[in-house]
Each structure stands twice: as structure tokens, then as C-alpha cells.
Amino acid sequence: MPETEKVTGSEAVMKTLIAEGVNLIYGYPGGAIMPIYDALHGYQSKLKHVLTRHEQGATHAAQGYARVTGNVGVVFATSGPGATNLVTGLADAQIDSTPMVCITGQVSSHLLGTDAFQETDIISISTPVTKWNYQVTKASEIPKVLSKAFYIARSGRPGPVLIDITKDAQFELSEYAYQACTAIRSYKPVPTLQMSQVEKAAELINASKKPLIVWGQGIILGEAEQELQTLIEKASIPSASTLLGLSAIASDHPLHQGMVGMHGHLAPNKLTNECDVLIAIGMRFDDRVTGDLNRYAKQAKIIHFEIDPSEVNKNVYVEYPVLADVKQSLQALLPLIEENSHPNWLDEFKQLRKIEDEKVIQAQLSPTKEGLTMGEAIECINKATNNDAIIVSDVGQHQMMSARYSKFVQTRSKVDSGGLGTMGFALPAAIGAKMGALDREVVAIIGDGAYQMTIQELGTIMQTQAAVKIVVLNNEFLGMVRQWQELFFDKRYASTEMTNPNFVKIAEGYGIPAKSVSKRKELAAAIDEMIACETAYFLEVMVEKEGNVFPMLPTGASVSDVRLS
């Protein structure tokens, strides 16, 4: 029998959060959630609350925390503007499958629908960007609804859940009876593995002369890194990652071919259209990965290891799906895989890598012209951290440079806003990442545009002393849009040039040690100094103004039509 006692709805929230294993909450108080904050005040020893400087920052911090720990990120916000400020983070978490539970205060139930002060219909607003949402109007519902929220957020393909609690329900007394949610009759989080699908996949992989693996974040979410590595090594299969799959396999693994997609590596992109069997694992054939679908891997037999049935045949027709939890399906697959080697096929990757090295990578990592490149700054970070930092990127050129050049030795080390491409993601996400991985170095790599979208979170760093290392790669442009304007809009730089403030002074205003560098000879020492610093640190790197990210697949191009310049 579950224990019963009478408590307020707000206290029921605290007790349920603790029962669900929560110890960290990001949020921002306001009128309609005050009873919950009042209850929180009495639970400070068990539930740490981080006051962000904007509700959007709270969502991204919760995402960063969730991405490095695998735990559910938790957010509190008030009704009205507090709730609507969550929308970007919810959408980001939904498209990138990040487990998150947001709890919003709502006006009292008798005021619903009256356009009361700070009333907004957050259930309707958040519906398309949540895995599930629910409005609570009675305190007695809280334990059951919240445990269901956590179960939904973390099970199957994870995602964000929003629970809206009216103010009267927060005050109301009711019997507290908690039981962990373990099943919902209308929800099947994980499809039942069919051995016939696994056997067919094994048969194709064993017979393949030119196999290619493209893995995604599913490997990390499904904790199947070891199974993936065993598969890759056993059958000697060249393998590439999507943006969100990065760090699942160490960057210097000899079979790791880099990243696929719009700014991915030449070899895995081009050879997608040469392979005979394409093995997609925990990825969803995003348009930034596939380019033109009519010219994507048409020659290949495609196997798709996937947990979400709605992803199979959504973008790419797949003849051989394997629907299941990826750890389970790979474990079932491995004994059926024969040891193999593909020296000639791997040689094709080497040759293309050599071309990319000569035409693109050398100019980024060992530039001879004057302006600093983003690539050399990232390379310095790799060196200063022995490739073992958690790299949190924002969105734009610096993100693609970081995806291409940052190196990793352990999983859950790359945090990005992938599907939604949310500028302003990195600074708050890095705060969450640091709190989720206190013993690790967390470096946020941000562009000068994106930085200013959530720059107020420096206040959160100041207050919490989160030792986040912030690197702004400043080209005084919205660089990625500028690059497209240069290439596809006749260099008409419409609203992409930025007049920026003195970022060093701003950081110092928040008590964060700060420096700006613009010369090559100062770069490595400045990055070493930043990494050596025990507190948060801000480093601005003035990079060349009109640098471009290559290789590139222009919109509508095929993966085999990679542009190198």
C-alpha cells in the first residue's frame, strides 16, 4: 500500500519530484507558481533550484543537463509569459528527443478562460512541441500525473512533457499517494524485437562488400555505444555520425569517418551513394543529413535500426527496418555478424579524406593567411583538454566547425541544438551540462550572434559559480547566413553585419575573468589559461570576418555533389 497523508498540491509536487530521483530544477518564479516555490523553499536540502535569467534559459539548461547525464531535466515557470517563454526549449527538446519535464503554474481553475492576469492557454500552445502535456486542476491528481510525466519523458524515444498546475490545486490539501508509473495502456514505448528482422539485417551485413554505418543520437539515448563499437570493429565497417551522434565513438577510432550531412565529411557523404548496404542506426534521415532524397543511397539496400515506428519510411524508403530498442537489437545482431574486412572499400574513404585534408582541413587547422580561423581555435581547445571536454555548441558556422573539428574520447560529450537549430542554446545548455558533469571540463563554443540571444545567463553563472568556459568565435557577422548570402544571394549582406559590444567588459561586469585575442601567437596560451582557470572564464577569439564552412551540400544537392569551396 502506498503511504497516505494530507499535503498541499505544492508539497505533493516536491515529494513526487524526489521520488522520481530529481535533485536539480531550473526555473523562474512568478505569481501563479508561488505556492510551489514556497514549498520548494522547505526542500532546499534535497531539491536544488537554479534561478536562470529567462525561462528559455531554464529549458536549455535542463536540456544540457539531460544530454550529459541521461536524466530528465526539470523546469519550473509561472503562467502566461513564463510558460510561453518555454516554447522554444520544448520544441528543441521535442525534435532532439531530450527528456524534460516542465511544470508551469496556471491561474486558479475558477479563472480559466476569463483572460485573467497572466493567463495563457499553454496546453494548446505546447501541444505540438511536447510528447505529452496535461493540465492539473486538483491536488489529488499530482502524484499520478507527475509520475506519468517522468515515465513518458524518459521512456522509449524520450521527449519533453509539460504539466500545467492551477494555483488552487497548488494550495489544495489532499491525500498523498505516490506510485511510480511503469506502464500506460495506450502507450508502447519500445516495439517488440522481431528476430526475423535482425537475422535479415545480419545476412545483408555479412554479404556486403561495401557497408556503411550512419549512426545518430539513438546510440547515446539507448546507451548502445559499446555494442556499436563492437559491430564496427567485428565487421570492419566504415562508420559516420550525425551531428547529434557525435562522441558516441571516440573521434580517433580508425573506422570513424567523421560526420555526414550538409557540412559533414567528404568521404561518408560521397560514399553514401557508393555503398551496397547502408546501416542506419538510431538516426532519422533528417534533410540536413540526406540532401536530395531522390539521389540518396538509391543503389543501396538500407537497414534502419529504430525505436520509433513513425520514423521508418518517413523520409527514406527502407526495405529492412529493425524496430526495437537499439541496445537490444544490436545485442541480438552481434552474435550473427561474421568477422570481416573491407580493405579496398576503406581505401576509398582514405583517398577522399586525403582530398578533404588538402583542400579544406589544412587551411582551417594550419592556416597560413593572417586572420584566425575557427578551426584553429577549436584545435587549441582539443589540445588544452586532451580531447576530453564536453563541447556545447550554439547554432551557425561555429557549430559546424565544432562538429567537424572538436574531438572526443567519451560519449555524451557533444551537446548541440540539432533539429531546431536554436540560436542562444549554448550558454544556458553549458550551465546545465556543467551541473550534470561537475568533474568534467565544459566548453561552450558560441558565435557572436547566438551569444547575444541568451547573454543574460551570465547572471546564472555568476550566482551559481558554474565553472563554464565560454569561447565566443567573433566574426562580427551572423556568419552562416552571411555565407549563404555570399554563395547564393550575390553577396547582398542583408542584416547580417553585427556591431558588437565589448564582450570582455560585459563578462567582467558579471565577475567572470575574461580576455579577447585576435593574434595567432596569443591563441594557444589564451586557451590554455582559460582551461587552467578553476572558475568560469570568457574568451573572445576574433576570427576572420568572412570565413566559410566547407565542405558543403547546398540545399537540394545530392550527398555526392559536395562542394569543397
Residues annotated catalytic, as ranges = 55, 117-118, 167, 480
Tell me whether residue 129 or residue 224 sits nearer to other proteins (CB atom).
129
C-alpha–C-alpha distance, residues 173 and 178, integer Å: 15
Q: How far is the CB of 87 from other proteins (least distance, A)?
A: 14
- Decide if 356 contacts 564 (C-beta within 8 A): yes
Of 310, 344, 495, 565, the residue at the interface with other proteins (CB under 8 A) is 310
* Alpha carbons 79 and 82: distance in angstroms, whole number: 5
Q: Is 301 in the site for other proteins (CB under 8 A)?
A: no
287 binding other proteins? (CB under 8 A): no
Contacting residue, 19, 69, 116, 134, with other proteins by CB under 8 A: 134
Closer Cβ to other proteins, 137 or 230, answer by number:
137
Q: Does 308 bind other proteins (CB under 8 A)?
A: yes
Count of residues binding other proteins (CB under 8 A)?
19
3's CB contacts (< 8 A; 6+ apart) are 176, 177, 178
135 near other proteins (CB under 8 A): yes
| CB-CB neighbours of 473 under 10 Å | 29
In terms of CB distance, is 153 or 235 closer to other proteins?
153
Residue closer to other proteins by CB (options 124, 182) is 124
Rounded to a whole number of angstroms, the minimum distance from the CB of residue 554 to other proteins is: 25
Task: Considering only residues 440 through 459, tell me which ones interact with other proteins, judged by CB under 8 A.
Answer: none
Site string for other proteins, 158-187 (x = CB under 8 A): --------------------------xxxx
Instruction: Report the nearest approach of other proteins to the CB of residue 553 (Å).
Output: 25
Smaller CB separation from other proteins, 127 or 351: 127
132 makes contact with other proteins (CB under 8 A): yes
CB 496 within 8 A of CB 565: no
User: What one-character DSSP code corresponds to residue 307?
Assistant: S
Based on the shown chain and the rule CB under 8 A, indicate whether residue 123 belongs to the binding site for other proteins: yes
Record the cell numbers describing residue 451, joined without a space. 551569444
Give DSSP secondary structure letters for 161-221: EEEEEEHHHHH-EEE--------BTTB-SSPPP-HHHHHHHHHHHHH-SSEEEEE-THHHH
Binding of residue 128 to other proteins (CB under 8 A): yes
Binder among 24, 90, 93, 152 for other proteins (CB under 8 A): 152
Q: Strands of 469-474's sheet, edge to edge?
A: 414-415, 390-393, 442-447, 469-474, 537-542, 514-517
Q: How far apart are CA 31 and CA 117, in angstroms?
A: 9
Shortest Å distance, C-beta 109 to other proteins: 13
Min separation Cβ 461 and other proteins, Å: 36
Continuous segment of H or E residues that includes residue 240 = strand 239-241
Nearer to other proteins, 164 or 457 (CB): 164
Q: Is 299 in the site for other proteins (CB under 8 A)?
A: no
Among 127, 179, 362, 386, binds other proteins (CB under 8 A): 127
The DSSP secondary-structure symbol of 127 reads G
Smallest gap from Cβ 236 to other proteins, in A, equals 35
CB-wise, 131 or 404, nearer to other proteins?
A: 131
Q: Does 502 bind other proteins (CB under 8 A)?
A: no
List, in sequence order, every residue forming a beta bridge with 6; answer none if it has no partner.
175
Q: Peptide bond preceding 128: is omega within 30 degrees of 0, i.e. cis? A: no
- CB-based contact 470:430 (threshold 8 Å): yes
| Secondary structure of 7-45 in HEC code, one letter for each residue | EEHHHHHHHHHHHCCCCEEEEECCHHHHHHHHHHHCCCC
Confirm or reject binding of residue 309 to other proteins (CB under 8 A): yes
Q: Contact residues for other proteins (CB under 8 A)?
A: 123-124, 127-128, 131-135, 152, 184-187, 308-310, 313-314
